[in-house]
Structures are given as structure tokens and as C-alpha cells.
Structure 1
Amino acid sequence: MKRISKKISKNSVYKIQTKHDKAILIGLILVLLGLISLYVVLISQSSARSSYANELVDIANQDKNPIFKIEKIILHSSADAIDNSDNQDLKDLSVCQYTDIAIYINNTSTIKELTNENTIQSLTIDQISLENSSNRGKRNLNYKLPYNFGKFRLLTENSSGKIDFNILRNNQDYESNSYAGPTFCTDCSVPITLGYVNQDIIEHYSVKGDSNQISFNGKILENANIPLADLETTIKFRINITSNAGKKYSYYVHTSIPLKGQTTGIYSGYVMSINQNPGSFFEVE
């Protein structure tokens, strides 16, 4: 068999070599771009971590000498019922559970005298969340008149998910205010009072037998066979304040409604809990 040989020209070798060099160059460029992108990502992450760490340090420093801090949170839980029967004969009751919340702000732990730095210009509550694994009832959180604390009252539905407070600044404001709407004092001399109501947990509940045996408090929950697990609710919201110096502060409240105490529970009528010194407000931009 005759061998066929083909002579490769120098130009062909040069073209092949050129293509090979271009491929290597493109590969190196892609690798370099990848390394640059990775470097940028790492620098961004490092910067973000550093920024976050600095924020934590700032918050920690504020915690050492907070202008505003939560002195205590008092919660009072009980229950009641609304009689919808025509003859008020307790044959058509809507059973409700409620928890009242009083939040006391300490503004003189760092600055003893009242100044623009530790008095309130504005106060709002937002990011309200009512977490409950049961779908029983209609839950609502809103402002409650301070002199109704511990008493069952239906509340205006909070459809906006926000509570804006009117700030009383002087004696004239105190004397002319009816406290009908959300109200707070610039010197933090009164607590923030809120109410949580779970309405219509059971509708059309009828009292059987002697109506004198019914109690319009937490005992009605047991009488109506409402398990505590259906009532367990976690309340979350953010308190935002602006001082008269123009600085802004926030505090996140995260609490469960009390249903059991050390010696008693809501089935006994009512239950209270007091959380002392839960935390401090942190300054925000």
C-alpha cells in the first residue's frame, strides 16, 4: 500500500499556534475575571460583617448608658362574655379572652433631670404580630384607656397595624385631654397601656342549669371547655420614640400572654405577670 504523506506548511503551524495562544489568553482572562469577582464578593461580605459588628458595638455601648429603657411590663389575663340573647338570659353568649399590657419606660436612669434628650416628642407602635396556632376567635391589639386596665372592654379594630400616640407636653394638655385616643406623656410619667382581645372564641354559648354558677372571668373558659392551647398567643410589636432632641429610638416587644402562674391560672379567674427590666431602647438612624 502506498503511503500518503502530507507536508504541513509553516503558515499552518503558525495559525494553529496562534489559535492555541488565543485560547490560553481567553482562559486566563476568564480566570482573572472570576478571581476579581470573588475578591469583590469577599470584600463586600467582609464590609457587611464589619458594619454589622460596628452596629452591635454601638448598641452594646448604648445598653451601658441607655437614655430610655423598659422598667417593667405588666400583663393581666382574664376572660368575659357578651350576652347576645334577647332576654339577657345567658343563652347566647360570645366568650372572649383578653390580656391588658402596661409598659413602663424609665427615662431618668442616665439623665436624672428632664431635658430634650430624655423626653418624648412622638411615639408610635408598629410591626404588630399576633401569633396563634389556633384559628379560634378574632384577635386584636390596640390602645386601651389606662383606667380600664384589668377590665374587659372591646377595642376598636386596629386595621392599620399601627398605633400613633398623642403626646401631652404641659399641664394644659393634661387638663384638656380625655385619654380617649392613644395618649402618652412627654416625661414618661404614665405607662403605655394596650389591650389584646380574642373575641368570639365560642359563639352562642348557653349556660346550663343555675345561671348563678357562671363567672364572668377566666373561669368561663373552663366552663365552656376551651383548652389553654387554643388561647396561647405570642404578641410582637415595635415601639418607636423620638426625643425632643430629635433622636430616634426603638424597642421590640416579644411576649406570650400569661395563662398560667406559679400558683394559679386563668381558669381560676385571672392571672398576672410582671417582667422587670426586660431591656433598653436602641438608637436608630
Structure 2
Amino acid sequence: ILNIGQFTDIALDINNRSGENGVSYENTIKTLYIDNIKYNNVLIGNQSLHYKYLGDFGRVTANEGNKINGKLVYDIVKSGEIDLTEPKMYANASNPIVLEYVNANLKTNEIISDTNAEVVYDGSLLKSTNIPLDKMKCTLSFTIHIINYYNQEYRATAYIDIPIINTINNTTIYDGRLEKVLENTNLIRFFRIK
């Protein structure tokens, strides 16, 4: 008997243009936090967003200790080694924001017919439950706040369609791994609000 869920890992790079303009008080992070988390258009399951260690990217963790309850505040580190198992960000934004979207309990107490086979988390369990893809569809949104060393505040709202279908190669999350890379740097734009 299993509870069936879905997860998606998200990595966001912040381009502070330090490669073009050098590092300054204006493009160095003093404070970084995420809030205003919303799950839009999803019809089933229990949605949550978690901080994720980059070394676990692509693996199901759904660590309850990393679940974001309202607000995720990053510790900002100027230089040196940092422990990325906790939410930390280099002041020059050289490491990504890494998050895990979890949609738990899409189906609960699902009985697996072949009890001798090893359970493989490759999409086949999800497919065997006959949950329609459109019921798992979700647009995740959250606000990223950055304050620099001049105490100027910048804000961006991220809207991320959780991928369930890859129209390029006609695969779905039922096939297991589904990867979507968004390289358009204008998808999430920061605006100065203070």
C-alpha cells in the first residue's frame, strides 16, 4: 500500500550582471527571502514547496524539515565554503535558488498488485493510478525579495507551470523523468520597489 505523489525540482539563477559590471554594493545581496507562495489551477493532492539541497536535485526528498511555511529566509554568505543543505546564498548570487514542489497524496492507500517487484519511482506508479494529467496541472507562484547593500529592495514574482507534458518529444510525467529548461532570462524580472 502506497501514497502516490508528484515532485518537481526547480533551480533559479539570479543574474546580477556582476560578470558585466563587476561586484558592487548595488548588485550584492544583503537579504533574500521568498514568500507569497500560491498553487493555482491544481485539482488534487496536497501541495507544498520545500527548500532543496542542490546535491539532491533530481531525487525525491520531500523533506518535511525543509517545507516552507509562509516565508523562506536565506542566510547570505560573502565568501568561503557554505553548507548548501540549508538555505544559504552567496552575496554575489553565484549559486542558484533550489526548490522542490511536492504534490503529495494524489492517491492514498494505493494497492500495488505485484508485491514481489521492486517499487520504482519512474512514473509507472503514477500512470497505474489512472490520475488524469490535467488534474495534476499546477501553476506555482511565489515572490522573491532581494535587498542590496544600499538597502534598495527588488521584487520579482515567479510563475512556474509545473511540467507534466513535454511537447517537444511528446513525453509526460507518466514516462518518469520530464525535464524542462527555461533559458529566457526575462521570464522572471526584478523591479525596484524601494
Q: Same fold per TM (> 0.5)?
A: yes
Task: Give 1:192-203 correspondences, 5 Å limit.
Answer: 192-203=97-108
Shift of 1:109: 6.2
Aligned residue number for residue 56 of structure 2: 148
The question of 1:257 aligning with 2:144 is answered no
Shift of 1:213: 7.2
Bigger Rg, structure 1 or 2: 1
Structure 2, unmatched stretches of 5+, are none
What is the root-mean-square deviation in Å for CA atoms of aligned residues? 1.8
The question of 1:182 aligning with 2:91 is answered no
Structure showing the higher strand proportion among its residues: 2
Q: What's the CA shift string for 1:33-62, capped at 9, x where partnerless?
A: xxxxxxxxxxxxxxxxxxxxxxxxxxxxxx
TM-score, normalising length: structure 2: 0.89
Aligned residue number for residue 12 of structure 2: 103
TM-score, normalising length: structure 1: 0.62
Q: Where has structure 1 moved over 6 Å in runs of 4 or more?
A: none
The residue type equivalent to 2:181 in the other structure is: I
CA distance in 2, matches of 1:266, 1:108: 35
Aligned residue number for residue 231 of structure 1: 136
Q: What's the CA shift string for 1:102-128, capped at 9, x where partnerless?
A: 000111268521111111111000111
The question of 1:163 aligning with 2:72 is answered yes
Shift of 1:211: 4.1
Where relative contact order (Cα < 8 A, 6+ residues apart) is larger, the structure is 2
CA distance in 2, matches of 1:138, 1:179: 26
Instruction: Tell me the secondary structure at the aligned position of residue 212 of structure 1.
Output: coil
Aligned residue number for residue 6 of structure 1: none
Structure 1, unmatched stretches of 5+, are 1-91
CA distance in 2, matches of 1:270, 1:249: 34
Aligned residue number for residue 173 of structure 2: 266
The residue type equivalent to 2:98 in the other structure is: T
Aligned residue number for residue 212 of structure 1: 117
Identical columns (%): 29
Structure showing the higher helix proportion among its residues: 1
